[in-house]
């Protein structure tokens, strides 16, 4: 969503997609500097300590506009820190050390009670405290403390394969609060991409020959619709009413959201994905054909009128 916000603002962005520690490892300098706006003071410390734990003997300087602090880990250039403090007005503080957890356990810090908790882009539950502790045992994910699991979310996560919980991408909270900007539609004819409960894969689907995206899952539909709104890429969303509302909804012209009447979006989505041709089509015509074929099995819950 940071990339989406930057695109909408006209900022030049190089999107890498790797973990920050992997990118920083390519640069030989002793000090690594990272700018990150954290949600809370605790999440700033947890984020920085996690990255520093992967940097071996290098120092890390984390500039955090959210808390107005410059957090440091390891041996850093003190004159550089003082200069950064002078130009930002931020206080220099030592970062908390990263806690050691068993190999099959992950602690997600900086949570606010009630907010969604993500693993690899899928909501697995809701925080009940300021830290959510989860574990993987015998190929299954379990809650230890600070989280109430969402069974359907855990099922979706495990469907993609049991994750390495130490390397998984974990976070909590809504992913964006701003409404998306809307742009003109890019093309009515082209190939159709499929995103199945993995909204993180959305950017990888934005090939030049894409005219639309089939999205499976309530939050996947809202996220992909939000991202595609500014890019002018419509979606056909398959949902079942299990939305968590983690991002404001917005859709490109030509988008249609369907809700399954008595089926799960998982099963219905897989069925429709099998109908996606591997050659260029007119997106609007294909969508109407699918709606006609499904008949009373679905109801239209949103339609973004195409621009003629």
Please state the three-class secondary structure of the chain as a single string.
CHHHHHHHHCCCCCCCCCCHHHHHCCCCCCEEEEECCCCCHHHHHHHHHHHHCCCCCCEEEEEECCCCEEEEECCCCHHHHHHHHHHHCCEEEECCCCCCCCCCEEEEECCCCCCEEEECCEEEEEECCCEEEEEEECCEEEEEECEEECHHHHHHHHHCCCCCCCCCCEEECCCCCCCCCCCCCCCCEEEEEEEECCHHHCHHHCCCCEEEEEEECHHHHHHHHHHHHHHCCCEEEEECCCCCCCCCCCCCCCCEEEEECCCCHHHHHHHHHCCCCCCCEEHHHHHHHHHHHHHHHEEEEEECCCCC
pLDDT by residue for the chain (308 residues), tens only, comes to 888 888 899 988 787 778 888 888 888 777 889 999 988 898 899 899 989 988 878 899 999 999 999 999 999 999 999 999 999 999 999 999 888 888 889 999 889 999 999 998 889 999 999 999 999 998 899 999 999 999 988 988 888 888 888 888 898 988 888 899 988 888 999 999 999 877 778 888 888 899 999 999 998 999 999 999 999 999 999 999 888 888 998 999 999 999 999 999 999 999 999 999 999 999 999 999 999 999 999 999 999 986 55
């Amino acid at each position: 969503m940071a990339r989406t916000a930057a695109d909408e603002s006209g900022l030049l962005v190089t999107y890498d997609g790797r973990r920050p520690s992997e990118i920083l490892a390519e640069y030989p300098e002793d000090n690594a500097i990272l700018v990150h706006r954290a949600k809370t003071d605790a999440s700033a410390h947890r984020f920085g300590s996690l990255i520093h734990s992967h940097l071996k003997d290098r120092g890390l300087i984390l500039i955090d506009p959210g808390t107005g602090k410059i957090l440091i880990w390891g041996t850093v250039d003190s004159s550089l820190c003082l200069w950064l403090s002078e130009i930002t007005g931020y206080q220099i503080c030592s970062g908390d050390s990263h806690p050691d957890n068993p190999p099959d356990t992950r602690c997600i810090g900086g949570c606010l009670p009630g907010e969604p908790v993500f693993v690899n882009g899928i909501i697995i539950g809701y925080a009940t405290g300021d830290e959510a502790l989860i574990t993987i045992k015998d190929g299954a994910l379990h809650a230890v403390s600070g989280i109430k699991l969402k069974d359907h979310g855990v099922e979706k996560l495990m469907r993609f394969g049991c994750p390495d919980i130490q390397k998984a991408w974990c976070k909590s909270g809504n992913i964006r609060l701003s409404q998306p900007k809307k742009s003109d539609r890019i093309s009515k004819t082209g190939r159709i991409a499929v995103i199945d409960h993995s909204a993180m894969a959305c950017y990888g689907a934005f090939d030049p020959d894409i005219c639309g995206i089939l999205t499976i899952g309530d939050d996947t539909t809202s996220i992909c619709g939000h991202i595609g709104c500014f890019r002018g890429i419509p979606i056909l969303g398959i949902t079942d009413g299990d939305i968590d509302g983690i991002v404001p909804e917005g859709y490109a012209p030509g988008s249609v959201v369907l809700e399954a009447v008595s089926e799960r979006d998982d099963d219905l989505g897989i069925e429709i994905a099998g109908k996606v041709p591997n050659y260029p089509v007119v997106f609007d015509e294909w969508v109407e054909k699918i709606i006609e074929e499904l008949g009373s099995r679905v109801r239209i819950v949103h339609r973004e009128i195409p621009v003629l």
